Amino acid sequence: MIVIKYLWYYTMWTLVRIGLHLYFSKIKVTGRHNIPKNTPIIFGSNHENAFIDALLITTSNTRFDHYLVRAGVFGNPIAKALLNSLNLMPVYRAQDGVNPLEANKQIFRACFEALAKKYSVMLFPEGEHNMRRHRRVLKKGITRIALGAVNFEGGTKEVSVVPVGVNYSDHTGFRSTVHIVFGEPIVVKEQEENAKNYNKLTSEITEGLSLVHVSLDRNAYLGLDAIFFHDQDSHQLIEPEKINHKSAALENRLDEVNEVYDEKKELEEAGL
Residue 222 lies in a domain: no
Residue 245 lies in a domain: no
Burial (CB count within 10 angstroms: exposed 0-12, middle 13-18, buried 19+), residue 57: buried
- Among 197, 198, 246, 200, CA closest to 225: 246
* Measured torsion, CA atoms of residues 55, 56, 60, 63, in degrees rounded to the nearest 10: -30
The predicted-structure confidence for 14-71, as pLDDT tens digits, reads as follows 999 999 999 999 999 999 999 999 899 999 999 999 889 999 999 999 999 998 887 7
Q: Supply the range of the domain harboring residue 69.
A: 2-215
Residue 134 lies in a domain: yes
Residue 253 lies in a domain: no
Out of 99-108, 232-241, 254-263, give the one with best mean pLDDT: 254-263
Strand partners, 122: 43, 67
Name the residue with higher pLDDT: 78 or 245. Answer: 245
Strand partners, 70: 91
The predicted-structure confidence for 84-93, as pLDDT tens digits, reads as follows 888 988 877 7
pLDDT of residue 229: 85
CATH code of the domain containing 134? 3.40.1130.10
* Distance from C-alpha of 63 to C-alpha of 118, rounded to nearest angstrom: 9
* Residue 74 reports pLDDT greater than 90: no
Encode the chain in three state secondary structure.
CHHHHHHHHHHHHHHHHHHHHHHCCEEEEECHHHCCCCCCEEEEECCCCCHHHHHHHHCCCCCCEEEEEEHHHHCCHHHHHHHHHCCEEEECCHHHCCCHHHHHHHHHHHHHHHHHCCCEEEECCCCCCCCCCECCCCCCHHHHHHHHHHHCCCCCCEEEEEEEEEEECCCCCCCCEEEEEECCCEEEECCCCCHHHHHHHHHHHHHHHHCCCCCECHHHHHHHHHHHHCCCCCCCCCCHHHHHHHHHCCCCCHHHHHHHHHHHHHHHHCCC
Residue 198 lies in a domain: yes
For residue 120, name the pLDDT band (cuts at 50, 70, 90).
very high
Name the residue with higher pLDDT: 191 or 128. Answer: 191
Out of 125-134, 189-198, 262-271, give the one with best mean pLDDT: 189-198
Number of domains in the chain: 1
Residue 224 lies in a domain: no
Give how far the C-alpha of residue 15 lies from the chain's centroid of Cα atoms, to the nearest Å.
Answer: 21
Residue 175 lies in a domain: yes
pTM: 0.91
Q: What is the mean pLDDT of the chain?
A: 90
Residue 106 lies in a domain: yes
* Residue 196 reports pLDDT greater than 80: yes
The predicted-structure confidence for 100-110, as pLDDT tens digits, reads as follows 667 778 889 99
